[in-house]
C-alpha cells in the first residue's frame, strides 16, 4: 500500500477545488458465485481543465471509475465528487463518451446530437442553434440531415462528441473513445478531440489501454494496478515540442522516456495484458 491517495495528492495543485475527486473508494460487485472487489481504497483528483489519462491492465476497473464519476453506479464505500458536489446519480455536469459511437441509426445526425438535450428537456430554439453551430464547426454541417450509416467512422465519432458536448458538461469522461477506429482515423480523431477539449476548456478523464495515446493527449497519466484497482503512480507529462497536438507531441524527445517508464510500471505488476499492441504502434 504505497497509498494511491498520497500519490495522486502530489499532483494536486492544492487549495483549488478539484473537478473530479474520488476519496478512498471501494467498489465491490456481487454475483451469485462470488463478490469481486473492482476498486480498493481508490483515490484520485483531477484539477479543473486538466486532461488526465488512466491506463491499466484489462479488467483493472478503469471503466468502473468512469461509471462512478458519471453517477451510473454508487460506490460501496468512500465518496465521489464532481465540481465540488457529491455524486448521487447522473448529472448535467458530466458528459460520457463510450467506445462505440452509439449513434441511433433511426435518427439523423442532428437528431442524434440533440439526444441529450431531449432527455434533459432542454431543447430550445437557442440550444438547437448552438448544436448546429457545433456541427458546422466540426465539419458535419452539411450532414446534419443524413443518417449515421452515410458517415465515416471519424465523422461518426465527431458526431458523438457533439452529442456529448451539446448538454454543456464541465467534465468529460472518455472510455477508450478511439479504440473502435482504424489506426489512421484514430490519429485524426485524436487531433480533433484534443483541439476541441482544449478550446472548450473541459476537464477530461480518459481511460485507455494505449500508452502512447495517453501520453500524447494528456497532462497527467495515472497507472492503475491490477484488480482490485487503485492508482499505482502518477506521471505528469511535460513535453517540449513545437506543436502541442497529439501527433506533434509524439515527436517530443521525452515521449519515449515516459512511454518506457509507464510501460515498466504496467509490466512490473505481472502481465500487462492488452498493452502490448501499443508498443508496436509507436
Partner 1 sequence: MATQSDRPRQSREHEAFLSSLARRRMVVSVARALILAAFVVLWEVAARRGWINAFVVSQPSRAFATAVSMARRGELWLHLGMTVGETAIGFTVGTLIGIVAAVLLWWSDLLSDILDPYIVVLNSIPKVALGPIFIVWLGTTVTAIIAMAIAISVVVTIMMVYVGFRQVDPDRVKLLRTFGATRLQILSKVVLPASVPVMIAALKVNVGLSMVGTIVGEFLVSKAGLGFLIVYGGQVFNMSLVMSSVILLSIVSVLLYYGVSALERAVMRTRG
Chain residues in the site for partner 1 (CB under 8 A): 70, 72, 89-92, 94-96, 98-100, 102, 104-106, 108, 115-116, 118-120, 146-150, 167
Q: For the CB of residue 167, give the shortest distance to partner 1 in the complex, in Å.
A: 7
Q: Do 186 and 178 meet the contact criterion of CB atoms below 8 Å apart?
A: yes
Among 242, 265, 263, which residue's Cα sits nearest to residue 253?
Answer: 242
Q: For the CB of residue 216, give the shortest distance to partner 1 in the complex, in Å.
A: 25
Q: Please spell the DSSP secondary structure of 13-78, one letter per residue.
A: -SSSPPSEEEEEEEEEEE-SS-EEEEEEEEEEEE-TT-EEEEE--TTSSHHHHHHHHHTSS--SEE
Given the complex with partner 1, which of 66 and 187 has the nearer CB atom?
A: 66
Return the SS3 of 47. Answer: coil
Given the complex with partner 1, which of 43 and 64 has the nearer CB atom?
A: 64
Residue in the block written with cell 502512447 = 212
Given the complex with partner 1, which of 34 and 149 has the nearer CB atom?
A: 149
Given the complex with partner 1, which of 209 and 249 has the nearer CB atom?
A: 209
Q: For the CB of residue 48, give the shortest distance to partner 1 in the complex, in Å.
A: 20
Given the complex with partner 1, which of 99 and 282 has the nearer CB atom?
A: 99
Q: How far is CA 179 from the centre of its chain?
A: 12
Distance CA 142, CA 158 (A): 14
Residue in the block written with cell 464519476 = 69
Distance CA 69, CA 23 (A): 12
Q: For the CB of residue 118, give the shortest distance to partner 1 in the complex, in Å.
A: 7
Q: For the CB of residue 128, give the shortest distance to partner 1 in the complex, in Å.
A: 16
Amino acid at each position: 500500500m504505497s497509498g494511491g491517495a498520497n500519490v495522486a495528492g502530489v499532483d494536486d495543485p492544492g487549495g483549488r477545488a478539484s473537478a473530479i475527486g474520488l476519496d478512498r473508494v471501494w467498489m465491490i460487485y456481487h454475483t451469485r458465485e462470488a463478490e469481486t472487489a473492482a476498486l480498493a481504497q481508490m483515490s484520485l483528483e483531477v484539477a479543473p481543465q486538466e486532461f488526465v489519462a488512466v491506463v491499466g491492465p484489462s479488467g483493472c476497473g478503469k471503466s468502473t471509475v468512469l461509471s462512478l464519476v458519471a453517477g451510473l453506479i454508487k460506490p460501496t464505500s468512500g465518496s465521489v465528487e464532481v465540481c465540488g458536489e457529491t455524486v448521487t446519480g447522473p448529472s448535467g455536469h458530466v458528459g460520457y463518451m463510450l467506445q462505440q459511437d452509439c449513434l441511433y441509426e433511426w435518427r439523423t445526425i442532428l437528431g442524434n446530437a440533440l439526444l441529450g438535450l431531449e432527455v434533459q428537456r432542454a431543447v430550445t430554439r437557442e440550444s438547437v442553434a448552438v448544436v448546429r453551430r457545433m456541427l458546422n464547426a466540426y465539419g458535419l454541417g452539411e450532414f446534419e440531415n443524413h443518417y449515421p450509416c452515410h458517415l465515416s467512422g471519424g465523422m461518426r465519432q465527431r458526431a458523438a462528441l457533439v452529442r456529448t458536448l451539446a448538454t454543456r458538461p464541465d467534465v468529460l469522461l472518455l472510455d477508450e473513445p478511439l479504440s473502435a477506429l482504424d489506426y489512421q482515423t484514430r490519429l485524426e480523431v485524436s487531433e480533433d478531440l484534443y483541439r476541441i477539449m482544449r478550446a472548450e476548456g473541459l476537464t477530461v478523464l480518459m481511460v485507455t489501454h494505449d500508452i502512447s495515446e495517453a501520453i500524447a493527449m494528456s497532462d497527467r497519466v495515472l497507472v492503475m494496478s491490477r484488480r482490485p484497482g487503485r492508482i499505482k503512480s502518477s506521471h505528469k507529462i511535460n513535453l517540449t515540442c513545437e506543436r502541442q497536438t497529439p501527433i506533434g507531441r509524439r515527436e517530443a524527445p521525452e515521449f519515449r522516456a515516459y512511454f518506457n517508464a509507464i510501460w515498466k510500471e504496467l509490466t512490473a505488476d505481472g502481465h500487462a495484458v492488452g498493452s502490448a499492441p501499443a508498443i508496436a504502434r509507436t
